[in-house]
Amino acid sequence: MARSRPATTRQANSAPRQRVSLMERMIFALARYATALEEKICVDSLTGLGNQQYLRHRLSQEFTRAARYGRDLSLLFLDIDHFKVINDTYGHELGNAVLVKVSSIIQDSIRKTDIAARYGGEEFVVVLPETPAQGAVVAAERIRDSVAHGASLGRHFGRVTVSVGVSYYPDSAASAEDLLCGADSAMYQAKRGGRNRTTVLGGDEIPGDVPDPERSPLFVAPDWEKLYL
């Protein structure tokens, strides 16, 4: 009949396992904390979208990938029209509500593979991997039209609108910064053209008063429409 080991021996043998288990729990807790901290650093606290730091990091990644493998890459730069008037007239609380609503519409209007971020203030950026200029225009008009019809301040002010600039690699940018600056420049061209419209860098301008953007010549190519749906 085998003799049982003394209690002191069993306790001595279990001590290393307990230490390993405690260490594993500490490592797991630290990993969770690091993940939460990274998310907090990269997320805009008001809208829940990525912030500018997150945007620049992801844009650099996507541009490197597009340049290395010869892929299309497009970028949208959006700005809420007359946002200062909204803040000055109705206060920052309503202004924040508009930012949240517009960011929600942007997120609902893009693919899971796209990258949306609040660039700062009332400006937003969307990075569109594997998307040529035609597909980017489809995406831009979808967002612009959705904001115009879904982000109202009520009858006393009217609808909220956005102006959108579009740039794309490789034709209109040689670097990630070119892509961002190009779309920003196109957005300001849309502002000068009357707002509530999409402007492609060095190309066409699509005004928001087109009754049905789907009937515009830029939107009839079924391949691009299928690509972005």
Do 143 and 34 share a domain, yes or no?
Answer: no
Q: Which is more confident, 221 or 40?
A: 40
Do 28 and 124 share a domain, yes or no?
Answer: no
pTM of the model: 0.75
Do 94 and 31 share a domain, yes or no?
Answer: no
Do 29 and 62 share a domain, yes or no?
Answer: no
Q: Which of the residue ranges 30-44, 51-65, 181-195, 202-216 would you say has the lowest mean pLDDT? A: 202-216
- pLDDT digits over 70-95, tens only? 999 999 999 999 999 989 988 999 99
For the cut 60, the answer to whether the pLDDT of residue 7 exceeds it is: no
Q: Is 93 a catalytic residue?
A: no
Do 151 and 66 share a domain, yes or no?
Answer: yes
Do 33 and 58 share a domain, yes or no?
Answer: no
Single-letter residue type at 136: A
Do 100 and 34 share a domain, yes or no?
Answer: no
Catalytic residue among 39, 122, 130, 177: 122
**Order of strands across the sheet that contains 73-80:** 115-120, 123-129, 73-80, 162-169, 197-200, 205-207
Overall number of domains in the chain: 2
The fraction of the chain above a pLDDT of 90, given in percent, is: 62
Q: Which of the residue ranges 11-20, 22-31, 148-157 would you say has the lowest mean pLDDT? A: 11-20
Among residues 173, 163, 72, the alpha carbon closest in space to that of 124 is found at 163
Has residue 2 been placed in a domain?
Answer: no
For residue 31, name the pLDDT band (cuts at 50, 70, 90).
low
- pLDDT digits over 186-204, tens only? 999 999 999 999 999 987 6
Has residue 99 been placed in a domain?
Answer: yes
Three-class DSSP category at 53: helix
Has residue 4 been placed in a domain?
Answer: no
Do 128 and 37 share a domain, yes or no?
Answer: no
Has residue 1 been placed in a domain?
Answer: no
Round to whole Å and give the CA distance between 74 and 127. Answer: 6
Has residue 192 been placed in a domain?
Answer: yes
Has residue 93 been placed in a domain?
Answer: yes
In 49-89, the DSSP E strands lie at: 73-80
Do 201 and 103 share a domain, yes or no?
Answer: yes
Q: What are 49's two structure tokens?
A: 């979208």
Has residue 31 been placed in a domain?
Answer: yes
CATH number reported for the structural domain that contains residue 129 in this entry: 3.30.70.270
Do 146 and 203 share a domain, yes or no?
Answer: yes
Round to whole Å and give the CA distance between 185 and 165. Answer: 7
Q: In the beta sheet, which residues pair with residue 165?
A: 77, 199
Do 140 and 178 share a domain, yes or no?
Answer: yes
Q: What range does the domain containing 24 cover?
A: 9-42
Q: Which of the residue ranges 12-21, 47-56, 111-120, 162-171 would you say has the lowest mean pLDDT? A: 12-21
Do 28 and 83 share a domain, yes or no?
Answer: no
Has residue 3 been placed in a domain?
Answer: no
Q: Which is more confident, 26 or 113?
A: 113
